[in-house]
A and B are shown apart, each in its own frame.
Chain A
């Protein structure tokens, strides 16, 4: 009985592994180097709204997108 339980546990773990491996890879952006960057207008933690076009002719911009706040990445 115990062995059967253990075996089903192993099977479940294996299935879980397969499910993880089969997760679709995250979509790749359609944008390429040399493309015009899409305009954005977003509110920031300082209460201001920043537009990409505000920086045109003035500054280079690094747009860093992270997954979620309070997570490691």
Chain B
């Protein structure tokens, strides 16, 4: 997800060869609600949130840490294991 328009993200996805849909927060509502809006620059700072099935945040990566998906992938695995063992 980014604050780019849908057409901009569509072109970006095409260039990258991304197969999944990318969300567009053009009105900057979600980035504000998630506390990552950069007022000076007008965009959302880089961040990754893992949200479980009940809508509870289970993991947050912010800033440059969020470039590397390793920690959030591990958090996903932990969540999956929790589900597997009752």
Listed in ascending order, the chain A residues whose CB lies under 8 Å from chain B are: 24, 26-40, 42-48, 50, 52-53, 55-70, 73
Contacts and interface: CB of A to CB of B under 8 A. Distances in A.
Interface of B: 1-4, 6, 8-13, 15, 21-25, 29-31, 33-40, 43-60, 62-63, 66-67, 72, 76, 79
Contacts of B21: 44-46, 48, 50
Binding site secondary structure of chain B: mixed
Given A27-B38, A44-B6, A64 B53 contact: no
Contacts, number: 150
B53 A33 contact: no
6 contacts: A27-B35, A37-B55, A53-B55, A55-B53, A60-B52, A67-B2
